[in-house]
Amino acid sequence: MEYSYPIDVDWTQEEILQVIEFFNHIEDAYESSTDKEQFKRAYKNFKKIVPGKSDENNIYKEFKEVSGYDGYKAVKALNENNEESNITIK
C-alpha cells in the first residue's frame, strides 16, 4: 500500500522520523502486531511533537483517510492493554 503520511512542514527532520515511527506502529498493530513498550515510547514522542488533542485527532483523521488505519483505536488499545506485551487490532 502506498500513501503519504500527514506531515507538518514545520516539523524538523527528526520530528518527522518520530511521527513516521508512530504511524508504523499503528500499521503494524493492524497488519500483525507491535511491541507494546516500543509503541508506548513512539506515542510519547509523538505527543511531544503534537501535544494538542485536536491536532492529534486531525492527524488521526488524515491518516485514517489515506491508510484505513485508525490511530485513535490503536492508542486506545495501547492504553487498555495491561496484560499483553504486543498490541494487535482485529
pLDDT at residue 73 is higher than 80: yes
Dihedral pair phi/psi, residue 2, rounded to 5°: -120, 130
What domain count does the chain have?
Answer: 1
Residue 1 lies in a domain: no
Residue 4 lies in a domain: no
Residue 47 lies in a domain: yes
Residue 5 lies in a domain: no
Residue 72 lies in a domain: yes
The CATH number for 66's domain is 1.10.220.80
pTM: 0.94
pLDDT digits (tens, 9 = 90+) for 53-64: 999 999 999 999
Residue 16 lies in a domain: no
Grid look-up 487490532 returns: 89
Taking the CB of residue 30, how many other CB atoms lie within 10 A of it? 19
- Residue 66: give the domain boundaries: 25-83
Residue 3 lies in a domain: no
